[in-house]
Structure 1
């Protein structure tokens, strides 16, 4: 395998980013966000706002019934769908039909933020993806439990899905020890990309992005402050928003990782290093996109 390609503004500018029509929300794409549970409602807002800040035209949020109204009030830009829920406050597997219907009307979908890594989530995601959707997919957090249970789940997709595991999640995906993943995260990312046919974003102090063909990229210019609650939700939302704009899966992952890292560095300058919040990341992104494309 060749050396990893550094993720730089020059690489991103060379690969490009679709610039939709300025007067059309539809041309900027629709994102479906399937996320949240009663214990982790904030993840919905973090990833949905990030998708909009990345340039998506419209966001549809699908979440458990008890969260729908408060989420809609907190993010008035989004359409919110109230789904059946379990007694424990998770989205129920009975919601799969609604999710499938919504996937048909969207250009990209983000599945899993704020959803617990449990049987209900696994069964819901597997049922929703039984008929491979045309929408470009990002699988994050709880949704990756479905991938671990069914490695062929997204191999049938026309375009590779993007997955965004940290070391603990990657250990579960590959049925390996976390220490082994942390010792060689690039090797783990390569294995996952090949096994699942995904664009694999191996999150960490140095983020490795590996395409299904084995091409590897490295972004090592983030900031320690990004290791904060909800930060991964914003990264997943950025990637989904870029996919909705029309970016190819690998390009969306590269752009998303870079934007996330630069936003973290800039926010750190304003607070002495640590202490900025994940909710502050999305608003920092649009100027960075403009600078790269200038």
Structure 2
């Protein structure tokens, strides 16, 4: 009976992993098609779409589409802009949202629950409903920079960063995680005379590695994928445009699908790099913490 049980268990594992591999392959097909098509001229790309050759780098393979993509648009500038905007926004978001969540969970103040409910209610408001009012606000806001006082945030990095620093989802994730932390650690730190800021910095945040990595992944993907509508409204110069806006350069006049695939492959590199780095940080933080999150 023991041998039969072991055999059945092994068979279930084989079936489970076979299904997972099949699902992974299905999800990878679009990426494989994109990368393979980026090396083909347009006539071959379109001819191969009707068969399995679309997923293989075969035929007239070259890097011409990549060179043409760099000639058509300042791809490197767009990539650097997107990485800069995403990194700064995610870093500030983790800091401010975790501070807000800390106050909601560990501090007692009037109206705390009501304010948290209002913040969470903003999750149901689509961005399109506030785009125009937000544009009117940021076009008139002052800013003190190296050149002195300026009016209006248009055509700047700050207009693409500051409005997205604090969001309800990130606050909610930190609130839920902080609620599961042992209260004994907080009480012991207070007895020893630690201030709330010291507790946040020395006790709470070192134990919050898993939620920091999770929030960073979600925020990075959200920022990177949604850098289109808002930058398209508030940024007109190429020096500050992110990579999603640059995709429009390839659909002007004659559409070169090989160049489009090359551009999509290029803009996928930062996303994959972010994801792999943060995923490893997530696994390492789970392995290093002794507190269940």
Q: TM-score, normalised by structure 1?
A: 0.23
Q: TM-score, normalised by structure 2?
A: 0.23
Larger Rg, first or second structure (1 or 2): 2
Query: Which has the larger helix fraction?
Result: 2
- Which structure exhibits the higher relative contact order, with contacts defined as CA atoms closer than 8 Å and separated by 6 or more residues? 2
